[in-house]
A and B are shown apart, each in its own frame.
Chain A
Amino acid sequence: MSEKKERKLLGVAIISMIVAAIILSAVLVVGVRRVGRENSISSFREFISARRVRGPLPATDDDLIRSWMTFDYINHLFSLPVNYLKTELNVNDSRYPNISLYEYGESLSTSTVSLLDTVRSAVLKATTTQQ
């Protein structure tokens, strides 16, 4: 490779890497801002001090229920009997328990927010009954 060609190649390499460094710095700034928004540092402190035990969650964690979760996952998460939510919410969908709350809400034309509230209440009720 001639010296001139080598120099040009190195020039391209340096420019490409500077562009990559700028993009990565932007990703870094966005990430740091997001961490601030999510309050990750205080969440981490809370997480460490709470020393969470792995396994079923207590009913007080019902605020962790999200619309993307499936009935099967919620049953597992809170250690509920497989058909508990089916009976409690009167679910007739054949896809139960492998259907997300969002999809189920869509099929019923129910708002996701009200469905989430109903599921949370059912979970709370089950855990209270178990106690």
Chain B
Amino acid sequence: MNFILSGLLSFLLVYKYPALFFAVLLSAIFLPLPIDTTLVAVGAFASQGYFSVSIAYTAAFLGNVIGDVTSYVIWKRYGKAIIRERYAKKYRFFSKLEEYVRKYAGPTVFASRFVGVFGPIVNFLCGYGQVRFKIFILGSISGNAVDTLWPIAVGYFVGSSWENFSGLVGIFGAVIALIAVVGALIRVYLEKK
């Protein structure tokens, strides 16, 4: 087990739900923390009666959604000033990407919740691309509702053996996101035809 995950788990065991909320919040904004594995551990703690499954789920879900919204608002407000002046005028790729994100915002936000690294990137693109808040929040809430639930459920089910199953976390997320990406590719291809 790596040093970051060990530290994160100790932090959770000491400060419980506030720690879970802030770890998930920071991860949703920008910090690359092993949150899915942590949520599996939280599910296991809940199965042992050390955490309440409903409070843990609520804390993690709120952390994710608030983190997403914070990141979106920051990039919506300052993204143009930071990026546009320096890069977007030089590279037309940015303006094309902006248009693309606006067009497929909902499904992109939903699918990106399942693979940790994509979440903050998509939050940035949505804020920078001035995607409508209503579309962004709907994608974030629906994506996070599922993405927060399943690792906790896996941990709750396997209990103390959770460490043996943490590898499944990456696979499940990647499969869901891959299905979404392939689906979107087919849709774009059909539109092009």
Q: How far is the CB of A12 from chain B (nearest CB, A)?
A: 4
Contact A20 B118 (CB under 8 A): yes
Binding site for A on B (CB under 8 A): 1, 5-7, 9-10, 13-14, 45, 47-50, 93, 96-97, 99-100, 103-104, 115, 117-118, 158-161, 163-171, 173-175, 177-178, 181-182, 184-185, 188-189, 191-192
In the complex, what residues of A have CB within 8 A of residue B159's CB? 52, 54
Contact with B along A51-69 (1 / 0, CB 8 A): 0101101000100101111
Cα–Cα, bound, A55→B158 (Å): 13
Cα–Cα, bound, A39→B164 (Å): 7
The residue on A at minimum CB distance from B114 is A24
In the complex, what residues of A have CB within 8 A of residue B117's CB? 23
Cα–Cα, bound, A87→B9 (Å): 25
The residue on B at minimum CB distance from A103 is B10
Determine whether A110 belongs to the interface, using a CB cutoff of 8 Å to chain B: no
Which secondary structure characterizes the binding site on chain A? helix
**With A13-B100, A39-B164, A54-B159 in contact, is A68–B174 under 8 Å at CB?**
no
The 9 A-B pairs of least Cβ separation, nearest first, read: A34-B167, A31-B170, A31-B171, A43-B164, A100-B10, A68-B6, A27-B174, A35-B167, A12-B96
Contact A10 B192 (CB under 8 A): yes
A–B Cβ pairs within 8 angstroms, 18 of them: A7-B192, A12-B96, A16-B97, A18-B185, A25-B174, A25-B178, A31-B169, A31-B170, A46-B161, A68-B1, A68-B5, A68-B6, A68-B7, A69-B13, A76-B48, A77-B50, A100-B10, A103-B10
For B10, B48, B170, the residue with the greatest tally of chain A CB atoms inside 10 Å of its CB is B10
Q: How far is the CB of B120 from chain A (nearest CB, A)?
A: 14
The residue on B at minimum CB distance from A34 is B167
